Amino acid sequence: MNYESAELAKISINLFLISQVSTTNAVAELANKINANWHDIKKSLSLDKRIGKYSYLDPGLGISGGNLERDLKSIIDLSIENKTNHKLFKCFNYLSDYNKKWLYSKLDFQIKKKNVKNIRIGILGLTYKKDTNSIKNSPSIDFVKKYKDKKIIAYDPSMPFYLENNNLKIVDDYNKVFNNCNILLVMNNWDIYKKIKILNLNKIKYPKIIIDPFSIFFNLKLNKKKFVYESLQ
């Protein structure tokens, strides 16, 4: 293929991934509203060979990491420049921003509802996704910058201690996060989080607010009288 085809092929791969992320987030939100179970829906989608078990079927905080965002901007710019339809690509941008704002809206709502005065925030996950040490365009890093007036304690298996600053302390054990926070934010979905049990989460201080967009703790069926639990599923 020629140079133009190669470049557009590379961008197209990321666009198809973006479409999966966007569709998953949008439909999972609807499932939550109508009392459908996204976990069950996801299993069905994984069985369809046209979609497959390796698809992006877990809701999350929009598009991050840099490469997908870069290619999305590129295709929008190219479409505008060549006067082709770019509404679909702009829609992907909108949906990504919408899901990134979800965490902030839930956090602000619960802080006001519970009238939390002594806010102590704990974070699970600093990299932009699991199985990487990259923090490029990481939702966690954006959050830490926006809430620089709050003390934040965080754990990530990649152990990026170099990120520590005046408002961010990084620890080597997720239990240390639970021991020192009353609001827990799950910002990526490393497999190690699946080892966390209710016994661990019980260490979170009152009002025990957990905002878990990836639904890591969904199957733990947390007691609604004891925990405030928000997820995208």
pLDDT surpasses 90 at 56? no
Q: What was the pLDDT predicted at 167?
A: 92
CATH class of 3-99: mainly alpha
pLDDT band, very low/low/confident/very high, at 127 (cuts 50, 70, 90)? very high
- The ranges assigned to domains in the chain are 3-99, 101-231
Q: What is the pLDDT of residue 207?
A: 96
- Provide the pLDDT confidence category of residue 101 given band limits of 50, 70 and 90: very high
pLDDT at 199 (0 to 100): 96
Question: Which class is 101-231 in CATH?
Answer: alpha beta
The pTM of this model reads 0.86
Confidence of residue 175 (pLDDT cuts 50, 70, 90): very high
Average pLDDT over residues 132-142: 93
Show the 3-state SS of the chain. CCHHHHHHHHHHHHHHHHHHHHHHHHHHHHHHHCCCCHHHHHHHHHHCCCCCCCCCCCCCCCCCCCHHHHHHHHHHHHHHHCCCCCHHHHHHHHHHHHHHHHHHHHHHHHHHHCCCCCCCEEEECCCCCCCCCCCCCCHHHHHHHHCCCCCEEEECCCCCHHHCCCCEEECCCHHHHHHCCCEEEECCCCHHHHHCCHHHHCCCCCCCEEEECCCCCHHHCCCCCCCEEEECC
